[in-house]
Amino acid sequence: MRSSTALANLFTLVASILSLSTASGQTPPRIGGRMTEPLEKYEMPPAALGTYRLDTSPRMIKPFGVFTSYQVNVDANGNNIVGDAANEPSIAVDPTDGNKITIGWRQFDTYTSNFRQSGYGYSTDAGVTWHFPGTLQPGVFRSDPVLDFDDTGNFFYLSLLVDTFCGDIWRSMNGGQSWTERSPNGGAHSGDKEWFTVDKTPTSMGHGFQYQFWTGFFACDFGEFSRSTDGGATWQSPINIPNDPDWGSLDVASNGYLFIGGNDEGSSFWCIRSTNAQNPGVTPTFDQVTTVNMGGSIVYGGAVNPGGLAGQTFLAVDRSGGSTNNNIYMVTSVQPFGAGNGTDVMFVRSTDGGVTFSAPHRINDDPINHNKWHYFGTIGVAPNGRIDSVWLDTRNAANNTDSQLFYSYSTDGGVTWAPNVAVSSSFTPLEGWPQQNKIGDYITVVSDNSGGDVAYSATFNFNPTRGQHEQDVYFVRVSPSGGPTPTPTATATPTATVTPSSTPTASPTATPTATPRPTPTPRAQPTPRPHPTPGPRP
């Protein structure tokens, strides 16, 4: 990492450039082909004692058709906390008991400060009621929460220490009710926009291993990739990944092969493979780099999320054991080539281990309108091979910014997709900002054989004191049975090449009685560049 003085000077320079670009309505510039503005940075102190959790209102329960969204970030009595903010939710579900769910998010104790912490909540009744005990480390500036789980039901929470860009892993063995720090503060290396995955295949040599990658330009020390072979307690010295991918995710196939999906913050995307990361006796190497056409470019600073991304690259591997076993899927919300505004949710698949990928397929099925935003697109793969995709969508908004959560699924490995279904009421993403002009950078879904569990941020609650809606985290269950009978549309056949080496409010309704769903079988869950010699950490 650069010296604190040099880094501060860089931030100041780029912030000045970004302010000019924002005023002109242009995408923030890149230096040397890459954006140099960190999406996480230390700025403000925590909220003053005695200013948090003073005012409450009934928690929001938001029905929409056959779907119901339940507010997650609630107080000890299950009420909404007036004046806070929460975004960037990541979800984990116990594969041995689907009633046990946990969600982590960026917790802002007050919208008047940009100081954020690692919030978490848990449910024991399949997401109907939620408990928010607090944060992993009260008063510690943390961000970029990413959760995953192993095949026995342990939950893991990767959290970034913003002042150093160092991360660490926390583990819960009781369904997310309490957490223990596995690695010492900063011991997991890490960097901005980090993501990780756990090898859940019992027959894999790397069973239980954790793999992580991040944006190398803003890293804890150096490199872009690290591995833990002991459940997150210790992490190997970081290494570089070919092509320095950013803003993506990673997953493990049933044979233990690791696949990373990322991009160059523009129109270049890659799927990168390591066959030996599962071998604890060697330093991982990357033996296959495939260039992937996603049909457009990543967007940062779009109209629906001015201070953040319109989406990241999500990669997931099918481990169903059936005809689609080890298929690799990638989804990204991109601005189509030649379009001036808006994004589409684009999907590609590989049926040959990442050697080639299909042409990009547009999952959102509304008429093409480049003023519409389909953002925060993400996917989950069920144990039976079904693919679930969810995203935020402005298709029904006259102002092209008010958003709804939408859902689609595929039961044939992504060849065809079910008609899109709106899952939530409309909300504005442009209110509730906690001194940071965004509603996060992602949402997440975990799929099982009958449906998917989704964590997303929305602004259904209204704060009369502020005169705005508030950012909160919500849980909703989606499933094929909640939508119409599919009339699928075809996805193109593989064509890619290989290069060697994502408002109205409603009055809260009564909390319904929980109906535990059957215990699912284990499921699949998807979830950077050469660096100068590191200098002293700031």
Radius of gyration of the CA atoms of the chain, in A = 21
Secondary-structure percent of the chain, ordered helix, strand, coil, rounded to 5: 5, 35, 60
Report the distance separating Cα 359 and Cα 67, nearest Å. 32
**First-residue to last-residue Cα distance in the chain:** 8
Helix (H) or strand (E) holding 16: helix 4-23
The string of pLDDT tens digits covering residues 275-286 is 999 999 999 999
Q: What is the DSSP letter of 384?
A: T
What pTM was computed for the model? 0.84
Residue position matching structure tokens 């029904």: 396
Buried b (16+ CB within 10 A) or exposed e, 419-428: ebbbbbbbbb
Contact 467, 504 (CB under 8 A): no
The string of pLDDT tens digits covering residues 14-27 is 333 343 333 333 33
Report the distance separating Cα 332 and Cα 7, nearest Å. 30
Residue position matching structure tokens 């872009």: 224
Confidence bin at 50 (pLDDT 50/70/90): low
Report the distance separating Cα 163 and Cα 12, nearest Å. 16
- What are the angstrom distances between the C-alpha of 359 and each of 210, 318, 348, 495? 31, 19, 6, 6
512: nearest Cα among 6, 77, 69, 183: 69
* pLDDT given at position 251: 98
The string of pLDDT tens digits covering residues 237-291 is 999 999 999 999 999 999 999 999 999 999 999 999 999 999 999 999 999 999 9
212: nearest Cα among 174, 177, 165: 165
- What are the angstrom distances between the C-alpha of 275 and each of 218, 257, 282, 494? 27, 5, 11, 22
Report the distance separating Cα 254 and Cα 215, nearest Å. 27
**Opening angle at CA 274, ends 268 and 277, nearest 5:** 140
- Residue 60 carries which side chain, given as an amino acid letter? M
Record the tokens describing residue 238, joined without a space.
């970081």
Please say if the pLDDT value at position 48 is more than 90: no
Contact 506, 460 (CB under 8 A): yes
Record the tokens describing residue 404, joined without a space.
């709804």
Please say if the pLDDT value at position 493 is more than 60: no
Report the distance separating Cα 233 and Cα 243, nearest Å. 28
Report the distance separating Cα 331 and Cα 9, nearest Å. 36
Report the distance separating Cα 69 and Cα 67, nearest Å. 7
- What are the angstrom distances between the C-alpha of 493 and each of 320, 334, 349, 381? 21, 20, 9, 20
456: nearest Cα among 441, 436, 469, 468: 441
Report the distance separating Cα 158 and Cα 314, nearest Å. 17
Record the tokens describing residue 207, joined without a space.
């069973």
The string of pLDDT tens digits covering residues 105-159 is 999 999 988 899 999 999 999 999 999 999 999 999 999 999 999 999 999 999 9
Report the distance separating Cα 184 and Cα 181, nearest Å. 7
* pLDDT given at position 528: 36
Confidence bin at 340 (pLDDT 50/70/90): confident
Percent of the chain with pLDDT over 70: 80
Report the distance separating Cα 391 and Cα 345, nearest Å. 8
Report the distance separating Cα 411 and Cα 323, nearest Å. 11
Report the distance separating Cα 274 and Cα 236, nearest Å. 16
* pLDDT given at position 165: 87
